[in-house]
Amino acid sequence: MKVFITKRIPEDGIRMLKEAGLEIFIPEHENLSHEEWLNYCTSTDLILSVGSEFRYDKDFFNACPDVKAIALYSVGFDHVDVKEAVTRKVPVGNTPDVLSKATSDIAFLLMQSVARRASYNFEKVKSGNWGDFDPLHALGQELYGKTLGIFGLGRIGMEMAKKSKAAFGMEIIYHNRSHSEEAEKELEAEYVSFDELIAKSDVLSIHANFKADQKELFNASVFEKMKSNAIFINTARGGFHHQKDLYDALAEHKIWGAGLDVTNPEPIFKEDPILELSNVCVLPHIGSATIEARTGMAKVAAENLIAFSKGEPMPACVNPEVYS
């Protein structure tokens, strides 16, 4: 079988695919146009998809009827029409677990960076504007004993909760589709309604898988109900928050600060006024950007395609009903 890898991945994954006897194709340049991407997809059996700029929807499956399986180089799969993939009997794999710690590290980093206005103060140093000591200028806040609210307490959210509890003794509340017995037992986490989550959180961190009906769920009406000292963290998907509403809430001091590894749109426009605020830290979607995590993702993606090529179920499959 022929595998189209949309961008180069760590060599471990490529080696595994070759050793399994699969034919590998990686384009010479990685900034593919939609037409180039689709053309490559029409002439392959399997796809290892890196990034989320292209959608695997009904139009895609109509144009590429010979694609037999898709392995995503990500945990998130919001750029895939999973129902359509099931209809076409195309299994879709993802890469859970291997990036949970790395991504939660970024959420933890953003929480601290925003709390202590690290980005703003770093810019002062770079511009030579260190200035004289001012006891009241650009003060941060401490996180000890504060309440961390987690929206989507899965693997990544659990890692974030553990770090925050251990480092700062934070109280953990969460809103999920279901209760987490592990979190409630290990961290004394409390399950709350969505309204309680936004009203009680000193730090609100998003770790859920994004779905279309959650588009811009965190908007003006939500920010209005949050604490004035609240820090908003999003390392999941930019689509969860309304960018202008977030800017307004920050500029008008309705909430205290925001840390973003994802933006809406993404990439963020360099002219976005949110980048000028002193209470914001924005990173370019680097949640999984460690050697260990990216290598692990390559291995899991390869394992998914190798299993399929052997007639076996993908070990990490987002639509296992295709095997029913």
Residues facing 70 on adjacent strands: 47, 92
Instruction: Give the three-state DSSP class for 72.
Output: strand
Do residues 219 and 197 make contact, with C-beta atoms less than 8 angstroms apart?
no
Is residue 240 within 8 Å of 111, Cβ to Cβ?
no
- Report the distance separating Cα 173 and Cα 73, nearest Å: 30
Positions annotated as catalytic residues are 237, 266, 285
Dist CA 195 CA 160 (whole Å): 21
Query: Which ranges constitute the DSSP H helices of the chain?
Result: 11-19, 34-42, 58-63, 82-87, 100-115, 118-126, 155-168, 181-186, 194-200, 220-225, 243-251, 291-309
Q: What is the CA radius of gyration of the chain?
A: 21
Residue 12: how many CB atoms within 10 A of its CB?
Answer: 13
Each residue's pLDDT, cut to its tens digit, for the chain (324 residues) gives: 999 999 999 999 999 999 999 999 999 998 899 999 999 999 999 999 999 999 999 999 999 999 999 999 999 999 999 999 999 999 999 999 999 999 999 999 999 999 999 999 999 999 999 888 899 999 999 999 999 999 999 999 999 999 999 999 999 999 999 999 999 999 999 999 999 999 999 999 999 999 999 999 999 999 999 999 999 999 999 999 999 999 999 999 999 999 999 999 999 999 999 999 999 999 999 999 999 999 999 999 999 999 999 999 999 999 999 998
* Spatial separation of the C-alpha atoms in residues 165 and 53, rounded to whole Å: 35
pLDDT in the model for residue 173: 98
Q: What residues contact residue 250 under an 8 Å CB cut-off, 6+ apart?
A: 257, 258, 274, 277, 279, 280
Residue 25, helix vs strand vs coil = strand
Q: Alpha-carbon distance 157 to 150, whole Å? A: 7
